Structure 1
Amino acid sequence: MLEMFSLLACLACAEAAPLPAPGQDMAVDVELVLAVDISQSMDEGEFVLQRAGYVDALRHPDFI
């Protein structure tokens, strides 16, 4: 399962890489960076903890 997640994370990062768009500056309230450990050094428990952290961050009142 971790190998599939690692592959999906790599593909998502490659697809989500921001490209500069001149003239489209936009003010935002929150800039969020989700860092993903794909080194395969994490066990299943650490993977679950990392994913739970993402969920908590996205549900935090300051973010919503």
Structure 2
Amino acid sequence: MGQLYKTVNLVQEMKKQAMIDELVKMGIIKNPAALEGKDYHDIKQLLAAALVKIESPENEWF
């Protein structure tokens, strides 16, 4: 059970880093170190919100 937990955490950390890289590439954030305290789910939500705002101009309200 411990190995599964470590693997899931490692995969989430890798996905988190990929999402941070995507946010930097999109120009949403300038300093990736500012997101170090955030967890995987917070960054996933931030990326989703950024993608919705970029892809849908009518969603400029948030």
Alignment TM-score > 0.5, same fold: no
What is the TM-score normalised by the length of structure 1?
Answer: 0.41
Greater length-normalized contact order (CA 8 Å, ≥ 6 residues apart): 1
From the two aligned structures, give the one with the greater helix fraction: 2
